[in-house]
Amino acid sequence: MPCSLPSCVDPPDYSGAMTVRIAPSFLTADFGHLADELARIDQADWVHFDIMDGHFVPSMTIGLPVFEQLCRYAPAPKDAHLMIENPDHWAPRYAEAGADSVTFHIEASKAPIRLARELRAMGVRAGVALRPATPVEPVLDLLEEFDMILIMTVEPGFGGQSFIEAMLPKIARTRAAIKAAGLDVWVQADGGISRETIGRAAEAGVNMFVAGSAVYNADDANEEIEILRQLAMKHAH
């Protein structure tokens, strides 16, 4: 069953494609104290859940039953990033479990347009993710089918990696295509987002920032969220 808390079913009504959103990644949280770790980020705009199956990526994290339970404690809308095989089957299940946005990898989906339309019909945002080596150009012809494009700025599957600077032109091309089409599609960057990199990502066109280690390794996670938000806002355009 979907989460019934107000924070789960009534996401903030953001207007404008370049509104800055900070989404802490739960991948770097203390898995021995999951509910407490969610409480540490109650100033987040979204909560980013990395779902890994040990097949599409080498690592394994949480699955559907744990995700559904965590929705009860999430202080902000839930962004489920599926790094799994067969997302065509599983993505709608995560929507049913309480996700407000479900992002699947273009490399794993057999029918990405059909899947995105199914998710939207369920009332959730549909995002598509691309590994660093996956060209974005084929997706740019399909922008109106998605609510968000996730450009991986590290190789998916592990936390704490360094930001891949070569992804900045890819992000810029994505943002330019969205602007040219007159669409309100979000651009998300996931991997290596920190005080040192968030400005460059914002300048390139990111408006949804996934930050894991930078937030959860800070003494005050909420303070770090606000610092990152302010840094991104200085460079957003």
**All residues at 6 or more sequence positions from 154 whose CB lies less than 8 Å from its CB, including other chains:** 132, 161, 162, 163, 164, 190, 191, 192
CA distances to 14, 141, 152 from 128, in Å:
20, 13, 11
One of 53, 79, 147, 190 is an active-site residue; which one? 190
Identify the three-state secondary structure at position 31. coil
Annotation marks residue 147 as catalytic: no
Q: Residue 23 is encoded by which pair of tokens?
A: 């989404």
d(CA 24, CA 38): 10
One of 45, 50, 79, 100 is an active-site residue; which one? 50
Give the amino acid at 169.
P
Annotation marks residue 190 as catalytic: yes
Direct distance between the N- and C-terminal alpha carbons of the chain, in angstroms, rounded to an integer: 39
Would you please indicate which residues are annotated as catalytic (active-site) residues? 50, 190
